[in-house]
Amino acid sequence: MNPGMIKQLQKMQRDMVRAQKELEASTFYGSAGGKMVTVEFTGDKQMKEIKIAQDAIESPEDLEMLQDTIISAVNDCIKKIEQETESVMSQFTGGGLPSLF
């Protein structure tokens, strides 16, 4: 393998690690039920905050709906994290690895 190719691969690896760290440090938001429930996650999928609108529960029957809404908000946020991760990392993997020979 030629030295130029090794340097190119090392740079790509450093860039990938940097991009992954930036993604993990990013903040993502998800919501459901007309923003009745909002969640905040870090890029490494750790929930930081959940907010539930005061009018989310007017009666005991609303509890099941609220639980479903929380699940939807969490899933919304995780989907956003995965989409952003795929978008950022595809710049490194989308074209495949350069030819080694």
Tokens 């340097």 label which residue?
7
Give 49's strand partners: 40
Q: How is 9-71 classified by DSSP, letter by letter?
A: HHHHHHHHHHHHHHHHH-EEEEEETTTTEEEEEETTS-EEEEEE-GGG-SSTTHHHHHHHHHH
75-85 pLDDT, tens per residue?
999 999 999 98
The answer to whether the predicted template modeling score (pTM) of the entire model surpasses 0.75 is: no
Q: Does domain 3-92 have CATH number 3.30.1310.10?
A: yes
7-24 pLDDT, tens per residue?
988 998 999 999 999 999
98 alpha-carbon distance from chain centroid: 28
